[in-house]
């Protein structure tokens, strides 16, 4: 998902730079450095902004909408608060300098995370490399202008050049503010042209002088405060043997894999309050992902689109879902939760899951 987000942002960078010159045909003549320089120059005029983010997900004939208010004050202050759906309402995330806070009202728990020291320089996106990656991986086309939330925007489409990637996201439409090059909306489509996820930014304001007090977090009365370091939340690359030695639970791996699939030479382990180990199996361009963690009945998995199909895994009920070209099987056994996802069909996922030892 992070990679897709960067691609969407890069689409906006490319479009904005090209249209700034007044000629879409000049895209092929502009270097990535020129595009990045134009983008950064325009962004420097934005000191703060606020908006309501509306995300609509469509799957299996059902739609689900998420609303959140967001604020950003350059260079290092952000705030977001979820309004809908009900199970997320009241969730607050704040970054103020080197400290990040997240409040989970369902648990009445606050997580405080100290971010790594960046010195005197705030985090900056590497526009040049992102733009180059985007140009290599996507065909970009200009689709005209439209009004979004009362603001005039440019509209473009990005289509993966690699046809195999189109089974996940066939194309992405992006709406970019003509005045300041901010991203005002994105929409992703499946291979049949159906919308999957649409994100809109409504009621946007720029440079209104948002006070610093908006980014000061006060824990609700009675809330549990948990402190963790940024390093605790970052996955660490380990060999399979090292992962087994460091985990507090027994790591299981499948004894059966479809022909051609092989385990990568390392595991990714996340420590902290919740240990998670992730393994990746590859077969050419195909991927199969396996994650394991200690079951927590109090933890919410978040809203889902549609009802999962119940399947049997060694006599235990599991849940099968298929979304955005990715099939996922989730189940629990002996106090451990498992997630297996990839392009394999349901029966093959079950065969892999039943071979876990």
**How many whole angstroms separate alpha carbon 70 and alpha carbon 78?**
7
The predicted structure's pLDDT at residue 28: 42
Q: What is the pLDDT of residue 333?
A: 92
Asked if 199 and 249 sit in the same domain, the reply is: no
Tokens of 83: 């309004």
User: Is the same domain home to 270 and 185?
Assistant: no
Is residue 275 in some structural domain?
yes
CB-CB contact of 79 with 218 (8 Å): no
Domain enclosing residue 77, as ranges: 2-206
Same-domain pairing of 65 and 146: yes
| Res 194: pLDDT | 84
Q: Looking at 15-29, 267-281, 301-315, which range is the least confident one?
A: 15-29
Whole-number pLDDT of residue 60: 65
Please give the torsion angle defined by the CA atoms of residues 43, 48, 52 and 58, in that order, rounded to the nearest 10 degrees.
30
Query: How far apart (Å, rounded) are the C-alpha atoms in residues 320 and 338?
Result: 12
For the segment 177-190, what is each residue's pLDDT rounded down to a tens digit?
A: 777 777 788 898 88
- Tell me how far CA of residue 74 lies from CA of 44, 77, 209, 212, in angstroms: 9, 6, 11, 11
Asked, for residue 221, whether it belongs to a domain, the answer is no
- 10-65 pLDDT, tens digit per residue, is 454 455 444 444 444 444 444 445 544 555 666 677 888 899 999 998 776 678 89
- Whether 31 and 167 map to the same domain: the answer is yes
HSE-up (13 A, CA, CB side) for residue 85? 10
Task: Tell me, yes or no, whether 185 and 253 share the same domain.
Answer: no
Give dist(CA 310, CA 341) in Å, integer.
16
Q: Are strands 262-263 and 62-73 parallel, antiparallel or unpaired?
A: unpaired
Q: How many CB atoms lie within 10 A of CB 41?
A: 12
Asked if 44 and 170 sit in the same domain, the reply is yes
For residues 92 and 71, the answer to whether their CB atoms sit within 8 Å is no
For 87, counting Cβ atoms within 10 Å of its Cβ (0-12 exposed, 13-18 middle, 19+ buried), the class is middle
pLDDT at position 122? 47
Q: Give the pLDDT band (50/70/90) at residue 134.
A: low
Cβ atoms of 306 and 318 within 8 Å: the answer is no
Q: Which residue has the tokens 């689409």?
A: 11
Average pLDDT over residues 329-347: 93
DSSP state of 356: B
| Mean confidence (pLDDT) of the chain | 79
pLDDT of 166: 77
Lowest mean pLDDT across 32-36, 261-265, 324-328: 32-36
**H helices of the chain, where?**
2-20, 32-43, 127-137, 230-233, 240-246, 346-354
pLDDT digits (tens, 9 = 90+) for 87-114: 889 999 999 988 999 999 999 999 998 8
Give the confidence band of 118 by pLDDT, cuts at 50, 70, 90: low
> Do 49 and 120 belong together in one domain?
yes
User: What predicted TM-score, i.e. pTM, was given to this entire model?
Assistant: 0.67
pLDDT score at 168: 74
Residue 82 has pLDDT above 90, yes or no: yes
Distances (CA, A) of 136 to 130, 161, 186, 287, 289: 10, 8, 20, 21, 26
Contact between 238 and 279 (Cβ < 8 Å): no
- Per the structure, how many domains does the chain have? 2
pLDDT, tens digit, 9 for 90 and up, residues 189-245: 888 888 888 988 888 888 999 999 999 999 999 999 988 776 666 788 888 899 898
Which range is least confidently modeled, 127-131, 165-169, 299-303? 299-303
- Residue 132, helix vs strand vs coil: helix
Closest to 133 in 3D by CA, of 282, 37, 8, 280:
8
Q: What is the domain-level CATH number for residue 179? A: 2.50.20.10
350 and 262 assigned to the same domain: yes
Average pLDDT over residues 242-259: 92
On whether residue 225 sits in a domain, the answer given is no
Q: Are residues 173 and 240 in the same domain?
A: no
């Amino acid at each position: 998902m992070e990679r897709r987000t960067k691609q969407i942002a890069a689409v906006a960078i490319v479009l904005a730079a090209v249209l700034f010159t007044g000629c879409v045909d000049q895209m092929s003549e502009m270097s990535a450095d020129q595009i990045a320089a134009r983008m950064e120059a325009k962004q420097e005029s934005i000191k703060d902004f606020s908006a309501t983010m509306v995300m609509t997900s469509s799957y299996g004939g059902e739609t689900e909408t998420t609303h959140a208010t967001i604020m950003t004050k350059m260079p290092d202050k952000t705030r977001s608060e979820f309004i809908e759906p009900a199970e997320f309402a009241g969730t607050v995330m704040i970054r103020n300098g080197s400290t990040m806070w997240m409040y989970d009202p369902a648990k009445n728990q606050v997580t405080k995370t100290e971010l790594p020291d960046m010195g005197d320089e705030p985090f900056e996106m590497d526009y040049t490399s992102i733009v180059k990656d985007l140009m290599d991986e996507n065909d970009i086309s200009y689709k005209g202008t439209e009004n979004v939330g009362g603001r005039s925007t440019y509209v473009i489409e990005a289509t993966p050049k690699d046809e195999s990637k189109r089974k996940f996201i066939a194309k992405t439409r992006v709406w970019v503010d003509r005045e300041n090059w901010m991203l005002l909306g994105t929409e992703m489509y499946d291979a049949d042209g159906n919308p999957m996820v649409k994100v809109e930014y409504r009621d946007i304001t720029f440079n209104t002088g948002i006070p610093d007090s908006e980014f000061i977090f006060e824990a609700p009365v009675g809330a549990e405060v948990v402190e963790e370091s940024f390093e605790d939340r970052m996955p660490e690359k380990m060999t399979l043997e090292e992962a087994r030695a460091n985990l507090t639970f027994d790591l299981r791996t499948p004894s059966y894999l479809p022909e051609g699939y092989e385990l990568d030479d390392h595991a990714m382990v996340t420590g902290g309050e919740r240990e998670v180990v992730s393994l990746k199996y590859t077969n050419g361009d195909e991927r199969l992902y396996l994650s394991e963690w200690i079951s927590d009945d109090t933890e919410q998995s978040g809203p889902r689109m549609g009802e999962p199909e119940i399947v049997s895994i060694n006599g235990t009920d599991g849940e099968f879902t298929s979304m955005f070209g990715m099939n996922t099987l989730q189940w629990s056994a002996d106090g451990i939760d498992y997630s297996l996802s990839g392009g394999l069909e349901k029966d093959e996922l079950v065969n892999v899951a039943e071979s876990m030892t």
